[in-house]
Structure 1
Amino acid sequence: MEKIVMKFGGAALASTEHIQNVAKKAIAEKERGFDVVVVTAAMGSMAKELAKMARDLSDNASKRELDALFSTTSHLTSTLVAIALQEEGYDAVSLTGWQAGIQTDDMYSNARIDEIDASRIEKHFTQGEIVIVAGEQGIDNSRNITTFSKGGAETSAIAIAAKLKAERVDIYTNVDGVYTADPNHVAGAQKLKEISYDEMLELSNLGSQILHPRAVELAKKFQIPVIIRSSEIDTVGTLLKEEVEMEKNLIVRGVAYESDVIRLTVGYDAYSNASLADMFTILAENRINVDIIVQAIIDGLKPTVSFTILKEEFADALRVLEDSKLSLGFSFADFEIGLAKVSIIGSGMASNPGVAARMFDRLRREGILVKMVSTSEIKVSVVVPQDEMIRAANALHDEFNLEQALYI
């Protein structure tokens, strides 16, 4: 029997009525002849309340105990979905991450999946049961509970689908698909019928909150079709796959933006003291994501390297740099806040030169200062003042005529 994995976010699990709606969607797929796995995220309000309680008890709670604590949130939603399914007359069973066979490394709060033993899930399938797995969690080699960072539930869902060789993964969210830009802030944003793994990966890395990059990477690696759809309304979503049909041969297919970007600048007394490899290795070992990197070596000036990080990683980045200052050999570190990143994305950009120039010209005409630039074959990103972020996104959406394209 073919298998399907369905992931539901916190908004889709916010009340008993919502949970009953989740159960109905799972039943519909079961009735279509699929073996069904439902992966649940945490109720956002519950996670916040638990975090507050932990802070009230201690300013220095161990990461092990925090992971054990926060894992209970998606565990709770999985059991509630199982109860709702059973009430509808269907056999269902809830599993924690470790019961579902999800093995991880030992990096608390930001664990990565090493392996999945799906034998228990398969056993429940043979008994005709719908399986509900608590997302965002697993267990390490020491049998300690671990949790994942942002996007943990969809990462769990796609990893399980890969192991089960599932037909597809349905990601139910509070939006009805992937748009050319955020429709809440960009006029004329249109929903995409399809999007490639590479385009979605760029969008996810560049600020889109719909799907986490780790989940997209897994889907691409195992070539798993993913449908991003609404948990509230019954409408056609956006299909994520390898190759897509190009709507009217668009060169640019999306605009993304991300606020609260910080530029860190590290300076050296001499170029011989600088080792980019050492610096970014140390940051990577501490799971600090670095984005745009610019090195400046100019005669008569001290060499510097600047890079961008997100606001929530700023304190950790400073701590890591300070702890490693002697071994890294830099003389000073400075930072700039109040920045944002705005990007254009499209697989057609690789074979169409001049896209970046057109982007820069439009921003110049709008009077928007560009502070840093990063490019790849299918995207161009710029760092701009944060108070210009939305205006820049709207200008670029207009510049590349995305509101006039034919979508569904």
Structure 2
Amino acid sequence: MARVVMKFGSATLTSTEHIQDVAKKVIAEKEKGFEIVVVTTAMRGMSKELAKMARHLSDNAPKRELDALLSTSSQLTSALVAIALQEEGYEAVSLTGWQVGIQTDAMYGNARIDEIDASRIEAHFMQGKIVIVAGEQGIDNSRNITTLGKGGSETTAIAIAAALEAERVDIYTNVDGVYTADPSQVARAQKLEEISYDEMLELSNLGSQVLHPRAVELAKKFQIPVTTRSSEKDTVGTLLKEEVEMEKNLVVRGVAYESDVIRLTVGYDAYSNASLADMFTILAENRINVDIIVQAIIDGLKPTVSFTILKEEFADALRVLEDSKLSLGFSFADFEIGLAKVSIIGSGMASNPGVAARMFDRLRREGIPVKMVSTSEIKVSVVVPQDEMIRAANALHDEFNLFQQMSPKA
């Protein structure tokens, strides 16, 4: 029997009425003959409330205890969904991450899934049950509860789908698909009918909030079709898959942006003191994500390397650099705040030269300064002043005619 994994976000689980609506959607898929796994996340605001309670008790609560605490939020919703399904006459069982066999590393708050033992899910399927899994969590080798951090529920859903060789994953959210840009900020943004794994991965890494990069990477690795769809409207969503047909032959298919970017600059007295490998290895070991990197070596000036990080990782990055200053051999570190990253994405860019030049020219005509640049085969990113971010996104959306994308039919 074919299997489907259904993931419901926090916006779909804000009340018992919403949970009853979730149950109806699950039942509809069950009645089509699928074996169903439902992955839940926490009710909106619940994790923040739990974290707030912990902070009232301690300014330095152990990460192990925080994971044990925060994992309960999605456990609550999984149990409520199971109760709603049982009330409708369907066999259902809720399971925590560790009960379902999700094995992770021991990085509390940002754990990675090592493997999944799906035998317990298989046993419940044999009994005709719908399985509801509390997302965002697992257990490490010492049998401590861990949480997966941002995108944990989506990652859980796709990892389970891979373990079960499921037909697809359906992600239910408060948006009805993936758009060419954020429709709340870009007036003529259009919904995409399909998007490739690579394009979605770039969009996710560059600021789109629809799917987390970790989840997209897993979907690509195991070639799992993923549909993002509305939890409220009965419309066709956006299908994520390996290759898609170009819509209206547009080279650029999306614009993404990300605020609160910080540029860190590290300087050396001499080039012989600089070791980029050592610096970025230390940052990576502390799970600090570095994005755009620019190195400057100019005769008569001290060599520097600049890189961007997100605001929430700024304090950790400074701490790591300060702790490692002697071993890394740099003489000074400086930073610039009030920046944002704006990007254009499209798989057709690889075979169409001149896209970056067109982007830079439009920004020049708009009077928007470009502070840093990063490119790949299917994206170009620029760092601009944060107060110009939305204007830049709208200008680029217009420049590449993204309003002409074909939207799927309802």
Q: TM-score range by the shorter chain?
A: over 0.9
Aligned counterparts, 1:141-156, within 5 A: 141-156=141-156
Determine the structure 1 residue equivalent to 2:241.
241
- Quote how far apart the aligned CAs of 1:405 are: 2.6
The residue type paired with residue 395 of structure 2 is A
Tell me which residue corresponds to 1:310: 310
Give the equivalent residue in structure 2 for 1:356. Answer: 356
Q: Which amino acid aligns with 1:246?
A: M
Name the structure 2 match of 1:79: 79
The AA in structure 2 aligned to 1:352 is: N
Cross-structure match for 1:19 = 19
- The residue type equivalent to 1:284 in the other structure is A
1:284 aligns with 2:291: no
8 Å Cα contact 1:112/1:148 also seen in 2:
yes
Task: State the one-letter code of the partner of 2:109.
Answer: S
In the aligned structure 2, how far is the partner of 1:252 from the partner of 1:32? 37
Q: Cα distance, 1:247 vs. partner? A: 0.4
Distance apart, 1:43 and its partner CA: 1.3
Cα shift at 1:105: 0.1
Q: CA deviation at 1:398?
A: 0.2
**How many percent identity over aligned positions?**
88
Asked if the contact 1:77–1:134 (Cα under 8 Å) also holds between the matched residues in 2, the reply is yes
Matches of 1:136 and 1:402 in 2, distance apart?
A: 34
Say yes or no: does 1:97 pair with 2:111.
no
- Aligned ranges for residues 365-384 of structure 1 at < 5 Å? 365-384=365-384
Q: Is the 8 A contact 2:193 2:406 kept in 1?
A: no
Query: Using the alignment, how far apart are the partners of 1:235 and 1:262 within structure 2?
Result: 39
8 Å CA contact 2:192, 2:405 repeated in 1: no
The equivalent of 1:163 in structure 2 is 163
Distance 1:407 1:44 in 2: 29
Partner in structure 1 of residue 119 of structure 2: 119
Partners in 2 of 1:323 and 1:24 — Cα distance? 54
Please list the CA deviations of residues 270-319 of structure 1 after superposition, one character each: whole Å capped at 9, or x if unmatched.
10111111111111111111100000000011110000000011111111
8 A Cα contact 2:248 2:404, kept in partner: no
Match in the other structure for 1:222: 222
Give distance in 2, aligned partners of 1:44 and 1:329. 45
Write the deviation string for residues 255-279 of structure 1: whole angstroms up to 9, x where unpaired: 0000000001111111011111111
Structure 1 residues 158-307: aligned runs within 5 Å: 158-307=158-307
**How many angstroms does 1:381 deviate by?**
0.1
Q: Deviations over 1:216-252 (max 9, x none)?
A: 0000000000000011111100000001011011100
Q: Distance in 2 between matches of 1:326 and 1:130?
A: 56
Please report the RMSD computed on the Cα atoms of aligned residues, expressed in angstroms. 0.5
**1: distance between equivalents of 2:193 and 2:45?**
32
Paired with 2:88 and 2:142, the residues of 1 have a C-alpha distance of: 38
Q: Is the CA contact (8 Å cut-off) linking 1:247 and 1:407 kept in structure 2?
A: no
Q: How much does 1:48 deviate?
A: 1.1
- Deviations along 1:93-116, whole A, 9 cap, x unmatched? 000000010000000000000000
Match of 2:345 in 1: 345
Structure 1 runs of 4+ aligned residues shifted over 3 Å read: none
Alpha-carbon shift at residue 45 of structure 1 (Å): 1.4
Cα contact 1:338–1:385 (8 A) shared by 2: yes
Structure 2 partner of 1:32:
32
Contact 2:177 2:229 in 1 (8 A): yes
Displacement of 1:159 after TM fit?
Answer: 0.2
Q: Distance in 2 between matches of 1:164 and 1:291?
A: 34
CA contact (8 A) 2:208 2:256 kept: yes
How far apart are the structure 1 equivalents of 2:51 and 2:237? 33
> Could you tell me how far apart the structure 2 residues matched to 1:200 and 1:264 are?
27
Moved more, 398-407 or 366-375: 398-407
Which amino acid counterpart does residue 304 of structure 1 have in structure 2? T
Counterpart Cα distance in 2 of 1:26 and 1:267? 56
2-structure distance, mates of 1:403, 1:39: 34
Deviates more, 1:201-210 or 1:38-47: 38-47
How far apart, CA to CA, are the structure 1 residues paired with 2:236 and 2:76? 30
Partner AA of 1:392 in structure 2: A
In 2, the alpha carbon distance for the partners of 1:293 and 1:43 equals 38
Secondary structure, counterpart of 1:247 in structure 2? coil
Give me the whole-angstrom Cα distance separating, in 1, the residues matched to 2:265 and 2:219.
35
SS at match of 1:44: coil
Counterpart residue identity of residue 101, structure 2: G
Residues 54-86 of structure 1: per-residue CA shift (max 9 Å, x gap): 000000100000000000000101000000000
- The 8 Å contact of residues 101 and 118 in structure 1, kept in 2 or not, is answered as yes
What's the TM-score, normalizing by structure 2?
0.99
Distance 2:146 2:305 in 1: 35
SS in 1 for 2:175: coil
Gaps of 5+ in 2: none
Task: Indicate conservation of the 8 Å contact 1:227/1:238, yes or no.
Answer: yes
Q: Which residue of 1 aligns with 2:394?
A: 394
**1:44 Cα offset (Å):** 2.5
